[in-house]
Structure 1
Amino acid sequence: MLVRTNWKAALRPVVAFAFYTLAALILFQPWLVQFGSVLIGSPENNLQDFWNVWHAAHTGLGDFFHTDALRFPGGTSLLFHSFSYPHVAAVAGLAQWLGNDRETLIVLNNAALLASFPLAGLSAFYLVRRFVPHDWAALIGGFLFAFSPWHVAQLGHHAHVTHIEFVPLFVLAYLNAVDRKSTRWLIVAAVSGALAALSCWYYLFYGLYFVLFHTAYVRWHDKQRLAGWQIRAPLLTVAGMGLLVSPLIVPMLLSSGGVEHPGGTDAFVADVEAFVAFPPSHVFAAWSAPFWTRLQTWTSNNTFEGAAYLGLVNIAVMALLWRRRKTDRLANYVFWAMAVFAVLAMGDCIHAFGYDTLIPIPGIVPNHLPFFSQVRTPGRAMVIVYLFLSVGVAYGLALLAEKWRTKPWGKAALAGVVVLIVADFAPVHFDFTDARCPQGLAVIAADREAGFGVLNLPIETAGDVAMFQQTCHGKPVVVAAISRQIRPPLTDTLDRRNLAVQRAQLIAAHVKYLVVDERADWEPDRNPPKYALRRWAVRTFPALAKVKGIGLPPYKAPIPKSAYETRFPVLYRDGGLTVLKVQ
């Protein structure tokens, strides 16, 4: 009997990992057929993420946190940049064996991104199983966490946010450490929390918030007096995480005073309607398209940072737990955890039906504290909401199984519910980015002169594209999408209205080529709808025009694209881009 039990325990992670791997291969099959020629998702930060692995595969550790290849001519610090350190380390490490050419890096980058799904599923499986000791229910719970619409949305945009596999492991290890008074589990919690933070710095803060939440829950709900291990465990866990990431955190803290804060704590949030609105990847996405259009029109939010769909079937299963919340500690704990992190995900103010109500909520407090305000995308707190949704739904399914086990139709009904849950989270719409190098960049790549830079236009939207194109031509670029700005780049001093003055500045800075994105919107909207409330407030109360966050940003008309193409010789032109020479 002992041998059989050990074999079952040994095979459990193998079976679970195989289940989630098979699910990923089936669900993401449209990406797999083009694995070596596309980047996952539409052109956005995924272009920057590919530059990250290209940089890691071609740069030594001594130069890793500073580069002269971006923000030419001064270069830039990468200390605050959005690296997913486990991701770039895995890709760069494999590239040493398999090759660091672009085609190999594309495959490795895509594979590392998709690997986050079975890894996250396995990690969540064990967390769910801690609360719900049924393998089948834990498999479903792990699936909900790993394949949530939020995770699928982030997959196509942010590598660092996509790697959520260490988050469930941290929560599991911390809870075990507290309950069992285990030093070993505390060490596992500190290490997994540090790995989660190295994947995405947001997860360092969410780990801290979870420790605070659990400690407060034990004190106020369970009426336990905090003493001894109940105090040492959270302090030691946080201290351990901080110690492990201190080689990066300390320099960041020392530099944070000069870091530009780009905002976003009241923009990239979870809208109330987003909890039930079908995401763009859903089979019924068309039904919710008007909501996502409003969201993008009236706020600065988007479909991936605003992803928060909980699943209609999941909500129905959670209704079963809602009735038990007063007598069932697990049900109560799950709802409190989801509620706390849902409020954090909603940002500074309530957003509803695509609009900003300007009604403040508790999330406004941490979002405006020193250093904590760098967590500028509150919607990412949904990772913890989905984690406890997976526990709640698995628990609800186990209760239904017990309730229906004597019914002749019980097994069939339960199987039907499970099928609906899985189908509701199965993505069916996929975006791709052509990862091949544009033909026109060959002109720049062939230039053997040293010490010149390339400026991508329009400046306002070219950061990610410029970084991606640098992996093709290999020359320093002026514009780059660096997560935090420590010192002003050349683009801050360029004259944006007088082309003659700008030309002189470019020549003085040794900028030799201009690459014009022909598909980009060149001139911004003079009166964007998202500023309608601000315009009304300023008209009604003129004094508000000087208040930060209320006053309207001044409109600056850019130099027309035609002026560049008239003034500088055209070296290459097609429907996608134009290459000009500065002279």
Structure 2
Amino acid sequence: MPSRRITLLWFGLFCALAVAFSWPLPLHLSTHLTGAPSGDTGVYVWNLWVFRHEVLQHHVPLHTGTVLSLAPRVDLTLHNYTLFMDALAFPLIGPLGLLRTFNLVYLAMMALTAWCTARLAHRLCGRNWESWLAGVAFAFSPVLMARSTAHFSLVAAAPLPVMLLIMVNGEGKGRARDAMALGATLAWAAFCDIYYAVYGALLISAWVFASAIALSRREAPVRSAFVRRLTRGLVIIAATFVAIVAVQGGLIQFAGLRISMRSLYTPMLVLTVLVIAHLMVVWPPTVQWRYRFRPSHPRLAMVMALTAAVLLSPVLVAYGGRLAAGQMTGPDIYWRSSPPGVDLLAFVMPNPNSPWFGSAWKAWIESQRVDGFAELTAALPLVVLAVIAVAWYWAGWRPQRRRWLWMPVTFAAIALGPFVHVAGINTYIPGPWALLRYVPIVGLARSPSRFVVLVSLGVALLFAMALVAIGERWPHRRRIVLAAVTALLLLELSPVPRQLYAGTIPAPFHRIAEDPRSDVRVLQLPIGVRDGTSSLGNFNPLTQYQQTVHGKRLVGGYLSRVTLAQKRSLLRYPVLDALVTLSAQGASVPLADAQRRRAYASRDRFLLNTRVAYVVTDDQDTSPELRAFAEDLLRLEKVMTSDGYTLYMPHADRAAVEQAFMSAPLR
């Protein structure tokens, strides 16, 4: 292991690089962010605020009543809550402020991820400079830098290399302390991002699988010639059928038989299965079982599981309560309903974060979907790939353990999603995710594109090993090679200057903050409930970012996962049912007469029961019909208009309450 002086030097250099690669953010720590607060960035800032808010209110911070406040306190266990970062930020928010603390924690997570990766790389290759470069190649990779514009929880990837380091150090030793450390790190991963808990479990499973089974390829025996011809013929027939469907459409007539096929999904599935079957006949795999059972193995597995369970017990209890109540939030999984993965060519594209040559590639990724840059960036540094290629072809290098090669390849295949896309074209070829998304626990990581984090980590480790191999092959040129690779890598990875987004909160929300009452609510239009896969009405996550200033409860809300009951909590109030309808549809579809009558009949009791003290309209997104209806329905009195928002105060007629429709009581 490297000396303490070296590891401290590494961490210092990583901190300096985090500051340099985020420039000019260090000049605007208290006012700007690297992602738009109207997107996921604002929700991650809100995570830090709501954690502190609940703790100061003497509540368990795994539930909150600050959003979706007309429903029972909402469970945050399946929200991307970033508990590890929330806890780090808790003592800093008071003296430093929310935005400055958020940015400092973000910079610290980059440095910590790089440092942990360098420690793992040193354990594998034993060289200081090469190990430091591996930390740079992962923590400041295009994959993680793109995620830092929206998915900040994914930047806290330090638990992943730590898990691998523990398994490398403890392999074959059977020590209980290693099992405890692995369980604790798995819990740490879950506190960073629920995806990383799944990834950690997959890394552990892959490590055990690689240790227990050895696969090799052998020539097919002569007696399988007939089977080879049969499978080859079936492949040709299936390929011909696919070609016909692709050329002339989904209707085929053959010998009076009409075959209708609306898409290539099923034909390509059949063709893929036949090709795999043919390859297994031609080159049948040989499986060598190398696992040797020891009585300590079940005990170590139990120690690891118990350690993780104890540390995660608050989350597991809350999640268990959700299971018992039948309040699972996952979307129904159908054959083609999964989010897409990354494009195959995205792995080898130039760095889209680069201000010099990345704009065209960034535009191409963003054209694929609204959040394409933060979700679909998969670029592996070209310098890293070039070093691996040189070591492979000219230095004769091969990893000592095949697992370091096939693990990133496997995760890359998963990251392609349910169907492989190449240059933006859907090939309809099913990938491993087409099946894995149905597997319990694994399916919680519902966005396959994020598996590129594991790919980037694996490639960074191969990069360090390849650099060592090149240095050993040409030792007299090692320093020159390392200096050149360092310069080229830093140049390729540099995203400077970073695009920054103002974190200023408009004046109407500061006006609300002046109200000393803590039990009132804010209703912002358009209104709705949103989660990671669906939306009821139209709720802007920016609303929760603005809540960090005024601190009042919100009627709607956004969480990564929301139950159907929580979504319906708004619709049981006729007033909100009408407002949600107009928020989603605007003026394109008129409000039903029955909805309108129920809303007017129940408005006064609604306002008195819910204690909605303020109504805010986003002037750009609020349609004229929605504004006019809300002003008349809630008897809105304009307080101020500023920075694109209008602040109102609603008024209830107490004398009319007894004549109003009875709304559901506030829980």
Q: 1:21 aligns with which of 15, 18, 24?
A: 15
User: Is the contact made by 2:395 and 2:470 (CA closer than 8 Å) also made in structure 1?
Assistant: no
Give 1:509's aligned amino acid.
F
**Corresponding residue for residue 273 of structure 2:** none
The Cα shift of 1:335 comes to 2.1
Secondary structure, in 3 states, of the residue corresponding to 1:303?
helix
Secondary structure, in 3 states, of the residue corresponding to 1:334?
helix
**Corresponding residue for residue 534 of structure 1:** none
Give the TM-score of the pair, scaled to structure 1: 0.83
Residue 342 to residue 301, structure 1, CA distance change in 2 (3 Å) = farther
- 1:330-341 pair list within 5 angstroms: 330=400, 332-341=402-411
The Cα shift of 1:421 comes to 1.7
Q: 2:52 aligns with which of 51, 54, 57?
A: 57
Give 1:261's aligned amino acid.
G
The Cα shift of 1:562 comes to 6.2
The Cα shift of 1:156 comes to 2.9
Q: Are residue 246 (structure 1) and residue 303 (structure 2) matched?
A: no
**Corresponding residue for residue 46 of structure 1:** 41
Q: 1:115 aligns with which of 88, 108, 126?
A: 108
CA-to-aligned-CA distance 1:493-529 (integer Å, 9 cap, x gap): 5131428458546654333433222455x68xxxxxx
Secondary structure, in 3 states, of the residue corresponding to 1:572?
strand
User: Is the contact made by 1:325 and 1:331 (CA closer than 8 Å) also made in structure 2?
Assistant: no
Residue 476 to residue 123, structure 1, CA distance change in 2 (3 Å) = same
Unpaired stretches in structure 2, ≥5 consecutive residues: 216-287, 528-536, 583-590, 652-667
**Corresponding residue for residue 211 of structure 1:** 204
Give 1:310's aligned amino acid.
L
CA-to-aligned-CA distance 1:396-446 (integer Å, 9 cap, x gap): 111222233345xx6434422221122212212523333333112234334
User: Is the contact made by 2:62 and 2:77 (CA closer than 8 Å) also made in structure 1?
Assistant: yes
- 1:40-439 pair list within 5 angstroms: 40-43=34-37, 44-60=39-55, 62-74=59-71, 75-95=73-93, 98-99=94-95, 104-221=97-214, 223=288, 225-229=290-294, 231-232=297-298, 236-238=303-305, 240-256=307-323, 257-262=326-331, 266-267=338-339, 269-283=341-355, 284-296=357-369, 302-320=372-390, 322-323=392-393, 328-330=398-400, 332-406=402-476, 411-439=479-507
**Corresponding residue for residue 531 of structure 1:** none
Report the number of matched residues. Answer: 532
Secondary structure, in 3 states, of the residue corresponding to 1:79?
coil
Percent of aligned pairs with the same amino acid: 22
The Cα shift of 1:290 comes to 4.2
Give 1:480's aligned amino acid.
G
Residue 176 to residue 450, structure 1, CA distance change in 2 (3 Å) = closer
Q: Are residue 474 (structure 1) and residue 551 (structure 2) matched?
A: yes
Give the TM-score of the pair, scaled to structure 2: 0.73
Unpaired stretches in structure 1, ≥5 consecutive residues: 1-5, 524-557
Distance 1:424 1:461 in 2: 40
Distance 1:254 1:325 in 2: 57
The Cα shift of 1:124 comes to 0.6
Secondary structure, in 3 states, of the residue corresponding to 1:513?
strand
Distance 1:188 1:135 in 2: 25
User: Is the contact made by 2:507 and 2:643 (CA closer than 8 Å) also made in structure 1?
Assistant: no
User: Is the contact made by 1:503 and 1:582 (CA closer than 8 Å) also made in structure 2?
Assistant: no
- After TM superposition, the structure 1 stretch with the greater mean CA deviation from structure 2, 47-56 or 442-451, is 442-451
- After TM superposition, the structure 1 stretch with the greater mean CA deviation from structure 2, 106-115 or 498-507, is 498-507
Give 2:25's aligned amino acid.
W
Residue 569 to residue 353, structure 1, CA distance change in 2 (3 Å) = farther
Give 1:276's aligned amino acid.
V
Residue 243 to residue 359, structure 1, CA distance change in 2 (3 Å) = farther
Give 1:58's aligned amino acid.
H
Give 2:63's aligned amino acid.
H
**Corresponding residue for residue 10 of structure 1:** 4
Residue 484 to residue 125, structure 1, CA distance change in 2 (3 Å) = same
The Cα shift of 1:91 comes to 1.0
CA-to-aligned-CA distance 1:265-290 (integer Å, 9 cap, x gap): 73263221221234542231222144
CA-to-aligned-CA distance 1:438-458 (integer Å, 9 cap, x gap): 112234334456654222233
Residue 150 to residue 519, structure 1, CA distance change in 2 (3 Å) = farther
User: Is the contact made by 1:295 and 1:353 (CA closer than 8 Å) also made in structure 2?
Assistant: no
Residue 289 to residue 126, structure 1, CA distance change in 2 (3 Å) = closer
Distance 1:276 1:402 in 2: 27
**Corresponding residue for residue 548 of structure 1:** none
Secondary structure, in 3 states, of the residue corresponding to 1:368?
coil
Distance 1:479 1:152 in 2: 31
Q: 2:541 aligns with which of 447, 452, 464?
A: 464
**Corresponding residue for residue 555 of structure 1:** none
Distance 1:183 1:208 in 2: 18
Q: CA RMSD in A?
A: 3.1
Distance 2:126 2:645 in 1: 57
